[in-house]
A and B are shown apart, each in its own frame.
Chain A
Amino acid sequence: MSVETTELSETGAVPAKEVRPLHRVIIRFAGDSGDGMQLTGDRFTSETASFGNDLSTLPNFPAEIRAPAGTLPGVSSFQLHFADHDILTPGDAPNVLVAMNPAALKANIGDLPRGAEIIVNTDEFTKRAMQKVGYTASPLEDGSLDGYSLHPVPLTTLTVQALKDFDLSRKEAERSKNMFALGLLSWMYHRPTEGTERFLRAKFAKRPQIAEANLAAFRAGWNFGETTEDFAVSYEIAPATTAFPAGTYRNISGNLALAYGLIAASRQADLPLFLGSYPITPASDILHELSRHKNFGVRTFQAEDEIAGIGAALGAAFGGSLAVTTTSGPGVALKSETIGLAVSLELPLLVIDIQRGGPSTGLPTKTEQADLLQAMFGRNGEAPLPVLAPRTPADCFDTALEAARIALAYRTPVMLLSDGYLANGSEPWRIPEPDELPDLAVQFAQGPNHTLDDGTEVFWPYKRDPHTLARPWAIPGTPGLEHRIGGIEKQDGSGNISYDPANHDFMVRTRQAKIDGITVPDLEVDDPHEARTLVLGWGSTYGPITAAVRRLRTAGESIAQAHLRHLNPFPRNLGEVLARYERVVVPEMNLGQLAMLLRATYLVDVRSCNQVNGMPFKAEQLADVLEEVIHAD
């Protein structure tokens, strides 16, 4: 197959090409970790979002910043699923793969169904580069890709050629090849380009020549698609107008939504936001984002370690801030002792765990849900705390507000379990109006709350609200309420040190009762056909589970679905819901942690469906598993 390298700047008569309508498409951009694939994917996503498609993304990259070039471990990819209807996942198998080098082709070809389109950068398919990843013959010529629709494009050469009038070295010019690829794909899928042009001008505002070079490469890619005969067809995916309720939308990733949720919670509570944090993948973006919003009164403190991050946050909580610490699983392990202190002090504190593959350092850039039991029980003593998990990237916003509500109302540390998939993935989000947000107003203690036998009015820091069992929040600076709190067991009421056995028993049970008594919404079940099988998930598995359920229902199967946001306490009706179904399946990206809690709490024989490969479930595979359960004897 030959590639026609037409004059790129030529905008003369172009034969009309076929435009084919599609309902949805899954594209994967793959290249070296230095090739700018994440940026390319982000830009294509933004174009797609502004066009009005529904979308879902899956960035997938190595933990190394620049893994050895051209190797399989160095491959970075970005998958995007977009459609004219509402979709739930980044898609199981790409329809289109853009492979910037042999490693990217080799690492991703296994995920492609036959017939998929592959755009390869032929310039990188040198003998040496192919040998590096174990190709003895060129896969572009040995017939192994015959089942696919292959588009060999000398991306590097074309980019360099397009930039020949710029005063750039070849190496510098080559770096724009990702923009050439983006331009080509933008043409193929009729994406609006204004956003990318604006973005490039802003990104390289201080280096206008680089901005113009990238723009030139981007346009050259577009023109290449339009003029070359190899790309005979382009595709249209109409906006998903009926999929969304009316409103103003933007594309948002989980970590960004979480950061915004925290700022919104601070405003709704009328408390200054304080973040104590130590950099850790995949949570650092929240620290970065919040540090940009000091004009909201946000204080961000990059601590010397994970322990100091939460320590500073707890100190700020004592002082009356909405205090937050952000981390991932290894950081939670280090923070455990301070979380226990927060349980004992009964101060509001948000602990945000962006879960990643474990144990130990594990898979820093991959996703997993294996910190649930750590969140529940990873402390010495009886140290219960509320645990919540968002279900989609945009849901991180609402879950942050809900976590803040519980922390402030019940004066307790709260664990929020997001994960790498939600953190980096993105989807359209209907932007709420500030007046739609919940009221999180808190009342600090103002005066004495207890009368001693001799009639003296005193302040008792552990005298509780009879309904919530929350203790008063008396912040330093309040006259007359001077008090001391600490990690040693306290006398009920007065808060003075107490080693009394009966008091300790009472306090342990009271702290548990406070958490157990937290008001959480009932679990909603989606069950249109009175099914016998229930699939129950939590956290980021919502997308794949819902997609699998849709497949099954489309195929005529009956299955009920429910998804937990509150892991502790569970919704009041959960036991009753579980009892309604003959079979309950719990898919989790761990070895059955929620299943263990459900079995222990409700004595229900739930079936686990587990995957711990660092990637989200694929809807098709999940549907197969659920179908088996539905039809099991």
Chain B
Amino acid sequence: MPTELALTVKDFKSDQEVRWCPGCGDYAILAAVQGFMPELGLAKENIVFVSGIGCSSRFPYYMNTYGMHSIHGRAPAIATGLATSRRDLSVWVVTGDGDALSIGGNHLIHALRRNVNLKILLFNNRIYGLTKGQYSPTSEVGKITKSTPMGSLDAPFNPVSLAIGAEASFVARTIDSDRKHLTSVLREAAAHPGTALVEIYQNCNIFNDGAFDALKDKQQAEEAVIRLQHGQPIRFGPDLARGVVRDAATGDLTVVTVTPDNEADVLVHDAHAASPTTAFALSRLADPDTLHHTPIGVLRSVDRPVYDTQMADQLDLAVEQHGKGDLAALLAGGDTWTVVG
């Protein structure tokens, strides 16, 4: 899409050599983001990428925008301060499953509930890459890694479920290798006022290769991936033979083979539903081990007051009510006395 500024993908490439492992899924995401940036129609100087620590967090160095490579887990907090004090900027957070969900879990959920104007790209490869291959908070139970030779014991987070539980106003999921889908999700995230969380399944070909093959192999993917589109019936599989319906008894969602009898029962995806209940139920369809029935696309996108806008409004209101701050009057306060020299 041409923009007024007529920037191209080249304008968003920094002069730094990209240093991810050859074959890493991060390359595809970087290319997609750089390719998408001109569409924003924003000047480069008004875009900021903030990251934490981990392989994905090297991302800002490769973007020819403003950027900060910060410390482990803290990017949402730092970006919150930047976005709240500078509403003229487009602030993006790049983080990974360890960065966002382990050490930085607290900042992530609070950014989501506050609904600060941030776009958070969570690269989920279900492994710790930079520290050379320990299991992560999204790894499947029983994962054999250097730190878990007999298999990991802890149940994984589902980042989409977590975000919905944390009151996120925008939650989406996409896959590194599906550039078209990735770009379409970025587009919707960028247009969303408030915090947008985009989980991007990303392959670590060194420590967790093929983690998402079930979603990438053409034949398997047909059965495994549920592509969500707002306003469309939730159907997938060969010839869209499968559909998601609500179980009348439990209220939960289940996958059924679509027949003329039940076709009318197939759920129509409503990303803008006020209640997060169905979006959460959709996020629970995926099997954490096999990834079967993984919904991708925008699960939830609702309008909610944006934190930084509200803070700015309070500042304006304070000026309206009390006038612009007068330092001399403030310092003098109420009770004073005068000493004559």
Residues of chain A whose beta carbon lies under 8 Å from any beta carbon of chain B? 46, 49-52, 195, 241, 244-251, 260, 263-264, 267, 272, 274, 276, 293-299, 301, 303-305, 307-308, 311-321, 323, 337-338, 340-341, 345, 431-434, 476-488, 496-497
Contacts and interface: CB of A to CB of B under 8 A. Distances in A.
A311 B336 contact: no
A423 B222 CA distance: 65
B284 interface: no
Contacts of A303: 77, 110
Given A248-B337, A296-B325, A497 B78 contact: no
Interface in B72-91: 74, 77-86, 88-89
Label chain A's interface by main secondary structure.
mixed
B321 A295 contact: yes
Among A295, A481, A496, which residue has the most Cβ atoms of chain B within 10 A? A295
Contacts of B77: 303-304, 307-308, 311-312, 315
Contact of B323 (A248, A295, A345): A295
Given A245-B341, A338-B74, A485-B67, 14 more contacts: A49-B335, A247-B341, A249-B338, A272-B85, A293-B325, A295-B324, A295-B325, A307-B107, A311-B74, A312-B77, A316-B84, A432-B331, A479-B45, A497-B61
B148 interface: no
Among A241, A312, A431, which residue has the most Cβ atoms of chain B within 10 A? A312
B85 A486 contact: no
B68 A484 contact: yes
B45 A49 contact: no
Contact of B69 (A305, A340, A482, A485): A485
A397 B65 CA distance: 38
B154 to A, nearest CB: 22
Contacts of A321: 85
A485 B272 CA distance: 38
Nearest to B90: A476
Nearest to B333: A250
Given A245-B339, A250-B332, A297-B315, A486 B68 contact: yes
Nearest to A488: B69
A633 B46 CA distance: 69
B240 interface: no
A597 B193 CA distance: 52
Nearest to B107: A308
B1 interface: no
B328 interface: yes
Contacts of A294: 314-315, 317-319
B311 interface: yes
Contacts of A298: 315
Given A295-B324, A432-B331, A482-B65, A49 B106 contact: no
Nearest to B319: A295
A314 B328 CA distance: 29
B117 to A, nearest CB: 13
Contact of B60 (A51, A296, A486): A486
Contacts of B220: none
A337 B327 contact: no
A316 B81 contact: yes
A244 B337 CA distance: 11
Contacts of B314: 294
Contact of A241 (B82, B83, B107, B339): B339
A295 B43 contact: no
B107 A304 contact: yes
B2 to A, nearest CB: 20
B131 interface: no
Contact of A260 (B79, B311, B331): B331
Contact of B81 (A51, A241, A301, A482): A301
A614 to B, nearest CB: 30
B310 to A, nearest CB: 12
A315 B337 contact: no
Contacts of B331: 260, 264, 431-432, 434
10 contacts: A248-B337, A304-B106, A311-B80, A315-B83, A316-B82, A434-B331, A484-B63, A486-B69, A487-B71, A497-B61
A274 B318 contact: no
B330 A260 contact: yes
Contact of B315 (A241, A295, A482): A295
A349 B39 CA distance: 35
Contact of B328 (A272, A434, A487): A434
A460 to B, nearest CB: 12
B150 interface: no
Contact of B61 (A52, A338, A484): A484
A295 B318 contact: yes
Contact of A195 (B47, B50, B311, B335): B335
A43 B331 CA distance: 19
Contacts of B43: 479
B218 interface: no
A248 B69 contact: no
Contacts of B341: 245-247
B71 A478 contact: no
B20 interface: no
B5 to A, nearest CB: 11
Contacts of B86: 316, 319-320, 476-477
B266 to A, nearest CB: 40
A263 B74 contact: no
B190 interface: no
Nearest to A300: B311
Contacts of A340: 71
A84 to B, nearest CB: 13
A263 B327 CA distance: 8
A488 B339 CA distance: 56
Given A52-B337, A246-B339, A248-B336, A477 B70 contact: no
A396 B60 CA distance: 39
A432 B83 CA distance: 34
Contact of A477 (B45, B60, B319, B336): B45
Nearest to A321: B85
Given A308-B80, A486-B60, A319 B89 contact: yes
B110 A304 contact: yes
A345 B337 contact: no
Among A250, A264, A267, A272, which residue has the most Cβ atoms of chain B within 10 A? A250
Contacts of B68: 315, 318, 345, 484-486
B244 to A, nearest CB: 35
A311 B82 CA distance: 10
A338 B89 contact: no
A484 B328 contact: no
A433 B329 CA distance: 10
Contacts of B259: none
Nearest to B16: A496
A246 B339 CA distance: 5
Given A247-B339, A305-B106, A480-B45, A276 B81 contact: yes
B340 interface: yes
Contact of A476 (B89, B311, B330): B89
Contacts of A272: 85
Nearest to A479: B45
Contacts of A478: 45
A248 B332 contact: yes
B101 interface: no
Nearest to A494: B15
Contacts of B311: 299, 301
A295 B60 CA distance: 35
Contact of A263 (B106, B330, B333): B330
A250 B65 CA distance: 49
Contacts of A244: 339
Nearest to A195: B335
B76 to A, nearest CB: 8
Contacts of A250: 332-333, 335-337
A52 B335 CA distance: 11
Given A304-B107, A307-B74, A486-B68, A299 B339 contact: no
B232 interface: no
